Amino acid sequence: MGAIKKIKKDDLVEVIAGNERGKRGKVLRLLRDRDRVVVEKVNLVRKHKKADQMSQGGILDMEAPLHLSNVAVVCAKCDRPVRLGFKVLENGSKVRACKRCGETLDN
């Protein structure tokens, strides 16, 4: 349950395990109840959609969720997937920080 706090929407992540290993993308959604994350243009599946009054039917490509343990946040400074920790700043705010170089990820 602790890993869900370290990954946020719009983070750049890299897949570190599975068929999509090595691919990078932006986090679109967090599924906190299932410990999963949806990453842009990663883990694409084809979904058959029936036509309705609002949209045309057909076969759509959409992103399927990945488990949190299979992704790692990419540090902007290191440009590598890294482990995250927390750092308390002088003003008392708590921010996420790269364990490798110490760079903060939150602005």
pLDDT tens digit sequence for 6-65: 899 999 999 999 999 999 999 999 999 999 999 999 999 999 999 999 999 999 999 999
pLDDT at res. 43: 97
Q: Could you tell me the residue ranges of all domains in the chain?
A: 3-74, 78-107
CA 27, chain centre distance (Å): 4
Give CA angle at 64 (17, 96), nearest 5°: 60
pLDDT at res. 5: 79
Question: What is the mean predicted confidence (pLDDT) over 89-93?
Answer: 93
Does position 107 have pLDDT exceeding 80, yes or no? no
Topology, domain 3-74: SH3 type barrels. (2.30.30)
